[in-house]
Amino acid sequence: MFTYMTKGTCSKSISFDVDEQNRLHSVKFVSGCNGNLQGVSRLVEGMDIDKVHGLLKGVLCRNGTSCPDQLAMAIEAYKESIK
């Protein structure tokens, strides 16, 4: 399980797993807009992390970021951590 501490959003952290085929699983946001974040988590379940990154990077809400944008940044941090 990879955990990323978010910046600039109501959610405080995002955790997720990535399988051997580069697919995202068990995305969990701590705090934030519960219904919206459950929806995001369900929509990205089983998707390729690069596809999720491309879809969500740059989605803005306030403070120049959003929870979906933070998930894209979490994916970047995950990829950096496995190099």
CATH number at residue 30: 3.90.1010.10
**Strand, helix or coil for residue 32:** coil
Which pLDDT score is estimated for 3?
A: 98
Residues forming a β-bridge with 49:
none
Which tens digits make up the pLDDT trace of 15-58? Answer: 999 999 999 999 999 999 999 999 999 999 999 999 999 999 99
What residues make up the domain containing 69?
Answer: 2-81
Q: Which of 56, 51, 63, 64 is nearest to 29 (CA)?
A: 56
Query: Which residue bears the tokens 């989605």?
Result: 59
Res. 11 pLDDT band, cuts 50 70 90: very high
Which pLDDT score is estimated for 13?
A: 98
Give how many domains the chain has, as a whole number. Answer: 1
